[in-house]
Structure 1
Amino acid sequence: MAILYTTHASATGGGRDGRAVSDNGVLDVTLTVPKELGGNGATGTNPEQLFAAGYSACFLGALRYAAGQQKIKVPDDAKITVKVGIGPRDDGTGFGIEASVTAELPGLDRDVAEKLVQAAHIVCPYSHAMRTATEVPVTLA
């Protein structure tokens, strides 16, 4: 695969209780643990929210790309919502995530919209990674 763009982000502090910053400094967020995972519910974001935001933006871009290939106009008020859940894996060795995508495409014929959503699901790299369980290299600096 030819890589067209690369970025970096780092987390410091307690991981889920700390800070995450992108390499250009535009993303700079306080991380907090949700109450459901034992946190105190302090104001901040968490990895699941960041994943859901990234996935939804990427999927909408993939949808617009697929629509452009088919010469279909995506409504300006199109909305992609990604639900991300986290919990212990059944094998007891750690945690897993699951995701679901809901597309709102007002004004488009349902059959056309469904075909676009399926095409976007093929194009979107987040969908591809979730579907294929992409291997992630992990190294110690």
Structure 2
Amino acid sequence: MSKVFFTSKATAEGGRNGTVKSSDGLIDMNLVMPTENSDEKGTNPEQLFAATYSACYDGALNLVASNKKKEIESKTTAEVSFLKDEADDGFKIGVTLNVEVKGVSQEDAEMLTKEAHQVCPYSKATRGNVDVEINAKAV
């Protein structure tokens, strides 16, 4: 295994209608299936994945820009969809990353977002397993 810099730990109980809690207690949430008609408040795995993927990708984008001596401001919004998997009659997820990049041309924004997708750890983890679409917009 590669050199470990740190390890995060979270525990889920009860599946999609249970709870999830990080070892330090910062994350302590109810899980609720959004397709069920319920008044219960909570999050879901797709929402949590959207939050973490957008943060990781935005960090990778800023690293790539910095390495190329480009000063940018960026905002990444991840849309994670829960989908029917036609291949095995199960389920899968799909991701759209909507990325706003301030301080560069549209061409540079597209180049930076493509390169960020190559170095982002979440993009690496999903590559070949999850369809990811990137929409870059220079603002």
With normalisation by structure 1, the TM-score equals 0.83
Does structure 2 conserve the Cα–Cα contact (< 8 Å) formed by 1:11 and 1:21?
A: yes
- Provide the residue aligned with 1:121 in structure 2: 117
- Provide the residue aligned with 1:61 in structure 2: 59
The letter for the 1-side match of 2:116 is A
Aligned residues with identical type, % of pairs: 40
Q: Equivalents in 2 of 1:3, 1:93: separation in Å? A: 37
Cα RMSD for the two superposed structures: 1.7
How big is each residue's C-alpha offset from its partner over 1:64-89, in whole Å with a ceiling of 9 and x where there is no partner?
Answer: 111111111122xx210111111221
The letter for the 1-side match of 2:41 is T
Shift of the 41–90 alpha-carbon distance from structure 1 to 2, 3 Å rule, reads: farther
Write the mapping of 1:47-86 to structure 2, written as runs, cut at 5 A.
47-75=45-73, 78-86=74-82
How big is each residue's C-alpha offset from its partner over 1:11-60, in whole Å with a ceiling of 9 and x where there is no partner?
Answer: 11x211121111111111111110x2x35252211000000000000000
- Provide the residue aligned with 1:130 in structure 2: 126
Shift of the 133–108 alpha-carbon distance from structure 1 to 2, 3 Å rule, reads: same
Write the mapping of 1:22-61 to structure 2, written as runs, cut at 5 A.
22-34=22-34, 36=35, 38-61=36-59
Does structure 2 conserve the Cα–Cα contact (< 8 Å) formed by 1:31 and 1:44?
A: yes
The letter for the 2-side match of 1:6 is T
Q: Secondary structure in 2 aligned to 1:61?
A: helix
Residues matched between the structures, number? 129
With normalisation by structure 2, the TM-score equals 0.84
- Provide the residue aligned with 2:9 in structure 1: 8
Higher strand share: 2
Q: Secondary structure in 2 aligned to 1:105?
A: strand
Does structure 2 conserve the Cα–Cα contact (< 8 Å) formed by 1:82 and 1:101?
A: yes
The letter for the 2-side match of 1:27 is I
> Stretches of 4+ moved more than 2 A in 1?
91-94
Gaps of 5+ in 1: 135-141
- Provide the residue aligned with 1:137 in structure 2: none
Q: Secondary structure in 2 aligned to 1:132?
A: coil
